[in-house]
Amino acid sequence: MAIHIDGKTKLCALLGNPVEHTLSPAIHNFLADQLGIPLVYVAFGVERAELEDAVRGGLALGILGFNVTVPFKQSVMSCLTGLEDGARAIGAVNTLVRSDQGFCGYNTDWIGLKRLLFHADISLQGRTVVLLGAGGAAWAAAYVCGCEKAEKLYILNRTREKAVVLAERMHTQFPSMECCALEMNEWTKMEESGLIALQATSVGLWPHTNCAPIEDVKFYQRLDAAVDMIYKPEETLFMRLAADAGAKTANGLNMLLYQAVAAFELWVGRKVEPSVVSRAKDMLKQEIGFQRNG
């Protein structure tokens, strides 16, 4: 892919620390090339003390938009002129979109998960969902549960206190969704079966692939579907245990892809055609190292 740069080329960028291993430049430059949009995407490693200067500098330099990754998804919010509803509810921003007044903050992580569920044919409406984790990814996942009208949400976390905070916030946002907070090892207190599990911790992430947040096979026997928001390895131990118990499984690759597509669409003001998204997914699999038929 050859990138042509001239005086009309727009710039988008990632702000984070570290950024060396990000896949965002590969995704966004591929999308720009496929759609013939004069845009280049780069990654900037920024120190915490310099974050506000980086955002203000981007505004002054005419940067079209930013992605924001760890550890700045919360702290960047004080640098913005506005927040969309999802970002405000989740309490985190991963996308900055330029406006006349400054940068507005969006969260496209939840959109990525919503599209992942759609393409995996997993509906949360009226269902009981088990959310593993209470960190940043879990907040986006809990928001999706509310938007998709899940009936009940169990939030399991290593420390119960963080799960309680998230459960209380989501019940305030979505009063009709029952929210329960438990420690991870208290999953046996759940009486339901036919559950949908969303795995939002980093447990099982490459290269530490031989572990899962819960390893008791009896937990997986209660599941109808299991989604791991990790995208590498292609099949985590969490997914393998669920599949062995007969549950439908999906990994986080589509979430990674579709959160990027949603951000790109916000920046350029047009939809990315499904055929382009499909090609971008094939490209991502090669970048990550999946087998061609993976």
- From the centroid of its chain, how far is CA 190? 26
Does residue 67 come out as left (phi exceeding 0), alpha (psi in the -120 to 50 range) or beta?
beta
Peptide bond into 25 cis (omega under 30): no
Write the DSSP assignment of 133-172 as a string of letters. --SHHHHHHHHHHHHTT-SEEEEEESSHHHHHHHHHHHHH
For 87, the enclosing helix (H) or strand (E) is: helix 85-90
Nearest to 236 by CA among 253, 256, 257: 253
Strands (E), the chain: 10-16, 39-45, 65-68, 82-83, 95-98, 103-106, 128-132, 152-157, 178-183, 195-199, 223-228, 248-250
Active site residue 162: no
The strand pair at 195-199 and 223-228 is best described as parallel
Nearest to 203 by CA among 273, 137, 152: 137
Cβ-Cβ contacts under 8 Å for 207 (sequence gap 6 or more): none
Q: Which of 73, 114, 232, 285 is catalytic?
A: 73
Query: Which residue type is seen at 142?
Result: A
- Work out the angle at residue 204's Cα, subtended by the Cα atoms of residues 213 and 28, and round it to the nearest 5 degrees: 125
Nearest to 80 by CA among 15, 170, 32, 168: 15
Tell me the C-alpha distance between 153 and 164, whole Å: 12
Residues designated as active site: 73
